[in-house]
A and B are shown apart, each in its own frame.
Chain A
Amino acid sequence: MRKHFSGPLGKSVVILGVAYLLLEFGIAYIPPLFGVDSGPIPDSVLLQYMVTVAIGILLWVSFNETLWEEFKAPLHAAMVEPRQRRTRVALIVLVPVLVGLMTFNSVRPSIAAPPSLRSIHPAPPGQIDFQGRSMELAGVENPLRSVGSPEEHYLEGRRVYYQNCLPCHGDGLAGRGHYAQGFNPGPASFQDVGTIAQLTESYVFWRVAKGGPGLPNEGAPWNSAMPAWEDFLTEDEIWSVILFMYEQAGHEPRTWEEEGEEH
């Protein structure tokens, strides 16, 4: 048994197998180690990875003539050796069966939902029309950070959050409120480093004030259930809830200096 896997061909098969198992079943367990949500990788990505692995193997076995010969030898033997007649027949039968199954898989009717795009953070406008008046967003910081008591703003923001945002975004701010299951795409998690942690407060203000209906035409998801909160909340209430979100989730808003450096 051992000698079957000692040659380059055997090793290649083992590498492919191990790579497949790791990609299909193993990789999903890595992100949770760092506290990030995870799921199995999609088939299309899996295929890409497998092709990459295969190319790597081919590069390796064709590195020098000897290795290439060793790689080919068992294949060659399987085709010509009179003693390996059985293997030969098995291969000639099995390979077409495999091809047939794959073909069937690709042509059979599927009942999958069409894919949908998400452009996570569409570019914000420089200014918006907020409750009937024009409002600059570019360069704007949360005005509540420089006036009044932070404690009071936090408490006011918490009230606003719990009365309005909680059903979807949840008590833990992780997007797992008791209404979260009802919406697709699901509510944003503010604990996630990919949401408010990498946005400026004025960006968040825009998303809160304008909600799903205020997303730009090119900005998926078009089915965001986020209400346009300017219909419910005052400007101060929105700023206070933003302040609360950062505080409660333990994130710092991105500042305009950082934003500037990027451009």
Chain B
Amino acid sequence: MAIWGGVAFALSLAMMPLGLGALQEDEQLGKVTYDRWCSECHGVDGDGTGSAAGYMLPRPRDFTLAMYNIRTTASGDLPTDQDLLRAINMGAPGTAMPAWDDVLTEAEKQALVQYLKTFSRFFPLDENPVPLVLGSPTGVSEEVIAEGRGQYEAIECWKCHGDQGRGDGESAATLMDDTGFPIAAADLTENWFFNGGADVEDIYRALRTGLDGSPMPNFSDVLNAGVMTDEELWAVAHYVRSLAPEDTPGISEVVLAKLLTEGAELATSFDDQAWEEIEGTYIPLVGQIIVKPRWFDPRVDGVWVKAMHNGDDISVLVSWSDPNNSPDPLWSDWKSQVTRIMEPREAADNEIDAAPDQLVVQFPMQMPEGMERPYFLKGDSRRPVYLWEWKSDRQTALEGEARGVGTESFQDEGQDVSVKGMHSDGQWQVVFTRPLLTSDENDLDFITGEAIPMSFFAWDGDNGESGNQGSLSSWYFLLLEEPTSTKVYVAPPIAMLIAGALGFFIVRRVQKREMESFRS
């Protein structure tokens, strides 16, 4: 991997007249490394317009502006070398910028830091930028989080991030970064996508430094003006951290549909108390980039799924962050901008029509024998899929089938699946309910105890998404919990009994033989 760089580096060393000093040496290595690994996105000249830039939002950093989101220095100040190194090592989660910690050597990374600075006339500096003194986190407790919530309201974080932090504030639709591209307010419930890190220290740092180049301002000036205390700002950080799960959700392949105890009511609405008993499963979604027209800027980056059944019917609750209920005129500018700037422009005219938000849950039409499932992108002629389709501008869900992309057809009548969807606080919650068995032979029968393949497609209409342009998941499994079979209670005691008896028998036998040999 480092061969290319190594060769060029060695060459440049050999060709360099002796005594030109370390500056050129590092710059050579920095340039070679940059051109090889960074330039296709950030551009050979560092201006953020590499050939892949149009496929990304947020766009790659324009190094000529020296405007860096993640720093330890004050708003407007340049980053320290350590800040740049950190960004290289950790990447920027939630964007296309990967972590380079184990791809580049230490020397390459150091040289890269110096080389990045050469793109901007704001470097080099007469003295190194001074990091802010950020201190260490205050203790966290329920009171602190409540205090943080109060401050979150007082300093109006919700204006952009929304009341529940899902990036759905009233100003979210008009946010632009410094280079004029639309930028989403961070969804604070998904801290694993925070580009500067997921911990409370990272959140506090972002509050103190602001994310330069983005609409996120710094709050250091607020502390300096004496209108807010450091403890209060830490409390905000703790509160924001509390909006996301304690641990980043791992990927679990199976969604367990809980079997309700006798007499318990099946939840058919999102606000049913019964859902609170069930743990959600997180399923990541990514842009559809497999068939034309592709979509590289998906809004829905994951869904939470819960399921329950009572032996007759099943309910599946799918919830996900989406800042608005599309179509919403407030977001029409956002939509036209996003569709205008995203490459590759393979769609005919997705800018024109107002599109709703959508969700499709996909199952195989028949349970596969063996391990082969239908092609995860709407099946194929050999193995069709069975679909539930929900749209935000329709009260009902439709059942459908498909034998490949573009062949979806939905039943006109006799829907066996019903749906209830609600948008609030930047979140869709949609509940599908269906009898386990239906009379329609094109509907999949839900059999308990079987791992039923299940996958998801989602669209945010006001993000310019419709048709093939949306997000999707690969196959996961829905497993309907079975009543615990009696063998679970019977088999272990029997096994114990047999083992015990056998042991007892052996011991008796040996003892008896020992006695006999003793006597004789």
Residues of A within 8 A of B (CB): 76, 79-80, 88, 91-93, 95-97, 99-104, 107-109, 111-117, 158-159, 161-163, 166-168, 170-172, 174, 176-179, 181-184, 191, 211-213, 220, 222-223, 225, 227, 231-232, 247-250
What is the bound-complex CA distance between A100 and B503, given in angstroms?
14
By CB atoms of chain A within 10 A, which of B3, B479, B481, B492 has the most?
B492
What is the bound-complex CA distance between A220 and B372, given in angstroms?
8
What is the bound-complex CA distance between A213 and B497, given in angstroms?
54
Q: Does B363 contact A (CB under 8 A)?
A: no
What is the bound-complex CA distance between A66 and B479, given in angstroms?
56
Contact between A250 and B290 (Cβ–Cβ < 8 Å)?
Answer: no
A-B contact pairs, 30 of them (CB 8 A): A80-B510, A91-B503, A92-B500, A92-B503, A93-B500, A96-B499, A99-B498, A99-B499, A100-B493, A107-B492, A109-B485, A109-B488, A111-B479, A112-B254, A114-B371, A114-B451, A159-B40, A162-B52, A163-B51, A166-B52, A167-B286, A172-B37, A179-B289, A183-B474, A223-B376, A227-B290, A232-B292, A247-B4, A248-B4, A250-B3
What is the bound-complex CA distance between A191 and B1, given in angstroms?
8
What is the bound-complex CA distance between A113 and B476, given in angstroms?
8
Q: Does B291 contact A (CB under 8 A)?
A: yes
Closest approach, in angstroms, between the C-beta of A78 and any C-beta of chain B? Answer: 9
Please name all residues of chain B whose beta carbon is closer than 8 Å to the beta carbon of A213 when the two chains form the complex.
375, 380
Q: With contacts A76-B510, A182-B473, A247-B4 known, what are 16 further pairs, Cβ within 8 A?
A: A92-B500, A107-B488, A107-B491, A109-B482, A111-B254, A111-B479, A171-B41, A172-B98, A176-B98, A178-B96, A178-B98, A191-B1, A225-B377, A232-B292, A248-B4, A250-B3
Q: Which of A113, A163, A183 contacts B451 (CB 8 A)?
A: A113
What is the bound-complex CA distance between A225 and B472, given in angstroms?
11
What is the bound-complex CA distance between A104 and B487, given in angstroms?
9
What is the bound-complex CA distance between A1 and B50, given in angstroms?
70
What is the bound-complex CA distance between A108 and B377, given in angstroms?
34
Residue of B nearest to A180 (CB): B286
Contact between B503 and A95 (Cβ–Cβ < 8 Å)?
Answer: yes
What is the bound-complex CA distance between A245 and B293, given in angstroms?
25
Residue of B nearest to A94 (CB): B503
Contact between B40 and A162 (Cβ–Cβ < 8 Å)?
Answer: yes
Q: Does B284 contact A (CB under 8 A)?
A: yes
Please name all residues of chain A whose beta carbon is closer than 8 Å to the beta carbon of B291 when the two chains form the complex.
227, 231
What is the bound-complex CA distance between A152 and B439, given in angstroms?
61
What is the bound-complex CA distance between A107 and B103, given in angstroms?
45
Residue of A nearest to B104 (CB): A172
What is the bound-complex CA distance between A109 and B19, given in angstroms?
73
Q: Which of A91, A166, A232, A248 contacts B96 (CB 8 A)?
A: A166
Q: Does B95 contact A (CB under 8 A)?
A: yes
Residues of B within 8 A of A (CB): 1-4, 36-37, 40-41, 50-52, 55, 95-96, 98, 100, 103, 251, 253-254, 256, 284-287, 289-292, 296, 343-344, 371-373, 375-377, 380, 449, 451, 472-475, 477, 479, 481-482, 484-485, 487-488, 491-493, 495-500, 503-504, 506-507, 510-511, 514
What is the bound-complex CA distance between A182 and B455, given in angstroms?
11
A109-B481, A184-B474 are known contacts. Are A250 and B4 too (CB-CB below 8 A)? Answer: yes
Residue of A nearest to B285 (CB): A182
Please name all residues of chain B whose beta carbon is closer than 8 Å to the beta carbon of A101 when the two chains form the complex.
492
What is the bound-complex CA distance between A162 and B96, given in angstroms?
11
Please name all residues of chain A whose beta carbon is closer than 8 Å to the beta carbon of B52 when the two chains form the complex.
159, 162-163, 166
Please name all residues of chain A whose beta carbon is closer than 8 Å to the beta carbon of B511 when the two chains form the complex.
79-80
Contact between A88 and B286 (Cβ–Cβ < 8 Å)?
Answer: no
A88-B507, A159-B40, A184-B475 are known contacts. Are A220 and B371 too (CB-CB below 8 A)? Answer: yes
Contact between B495 and A100 (Cβ–Cβ < 8 Å)?
Answer: yes
Contact between A172 and B488 (Cβ–Cβ < 8 Å)?
Answer: no
A92-B503, A111-B254, A177-B98 are known contacts. Are A116 and B371 too (CB-CB below 8 A)? Answer: yes
Please name all residues of chain B whose beta carbon is closer than 8 Å to the beta carbon of A108 when the two chains form the complex.
488
Contact between A174 and B103 (Cβ–Cβ < 8 Å)?
Answer: yes
What is the bound-complex CA distance between A220 and B368, given in angstroms?
14
Which 8 residue pairs of A and B lie closest in terms of their CB atoms, listed nearest first?
A182-B286, A162-B52, A100-B496, A113-B253, A96-B499, A162-B40, A103-B495, A172-B103
Q: Which of B4, B287, B449 contacts A167 (CB 8 A)?
A: B287
Closest approach, in angstroms, between the C-beta of A138 and any C-beta of chain B? Answer: 27
Residue of A nearest to B192 (CB): A181
Please name all residues of chain A whose beta carbon is closer than 8 Å to the beta carbon of B373 when the two chains form the complex.
222-223
Closest approach, in angstroms, between the C-beta of A253 and any C-beta of chain B? Answer: 15
Contact between B496 and A115 (Cβ–Cβ < 8 Å)?
Answer: no
What is the bound-complex CA distance between A101 and B493, given in angstroms?
9
Please name all residues of chain A whose beta carbon is closer than 8 Å to the beta carbon of B4 when the two chains form the complex.
247-248, 250
Residue of A nearest to B475 (CB): A223
A88-B507, A113-B477, A162-B50 are known contacts. Are A104 and B488 too (CB-CB below 8 A)? Answer: yes
Please name all residues of chain B whose beta carbon is closer than 8 Å to the beta carbon of A167 when the two chains form the complex.
55, 96, 286-287, 289, 296
Please name all residues of chain A whose beta carbon is closer than 8 Å to the beta carbon of B451 when the two chains form the complex.
113-114
What is the bound-complex CA distance between A213 and B381, given in angstroms?
12
Closest approach, in angstroms, between the C-beta of A192 and any C-beta of chain B? Answer: 12
What is the bound-complex CA distance between A107 and B256, given in angstroms?
18
Residue of B nearest to A226 (CB): B290
Residue of B nearest to A91 (CB): B503
Closest approach, in angstroms, between the C-beta of A33 and any C-beta of chain B? Answer: 14
Please name all residues of chain B whose beta carbon is closer than 8 Å to the beta carbon of A179 when the two chains form the complex.
286-287, 289
Please name all residues of chain A whose beta carbon is closer than 8 Å to the beta carbon of B496 when the two chains form the complex.
96-97, 99-100, 103
What is the bound-complex CA distance between A176 and B102, given in angstroms?
12
What is the bound-complex CA distance between A99 and B492, given in angstroms?
8
What is the bound-complex CA distance between A178 and B498, given in angstroms?
55
What is the bound-complex CA distance between A176 and B253, given in angstroms?
19
Please name all residues of chain A whose beta carbon is closer than 8 Å to the beta carbon of B498 when the two chains form the complex.
99
Closest approach, in angstroms, between the C-beta of A49 and any C-beta of chain B? Answer: 24
Residue of B nearest to A212 (CB): B375
Contact between A231 and B292 (Cβ–Cβ < 8 Å)?
Answer: yes
Contact between B375 and A222 (Cβ–Cβ < 8 Å)?
Answer: yes
Residue of B nearest to A178 (CB): B96
Contact between A109 and B474 (Cβ–Cβ < 8 Å)?
Answer: no
Please name all residues of chain B whose beta carbon is closer than 8 Å to the beta carbon of A95 when the two chains form the complex.
499-500, 503
Residue of A nearest to B481 (CB): A109
Contact between A159 and B375 (Cβ–Cβ < 8 Å)?
Answer: no
Please name all residues of chain B whose beta carbon is closer than 8 Å to the beta carbon of A223 when the two chains form the complex.
373, 375-376, 474-475
Please name all residues of chain B whose beta carbon is closer than 8 Å to the beta carbon of A115 when the two chains form the complex.
371
Residue of B nearest to A166 (CB): B52
What is the bound-complex CA distance between A168 and B98, given in angstroms?
11
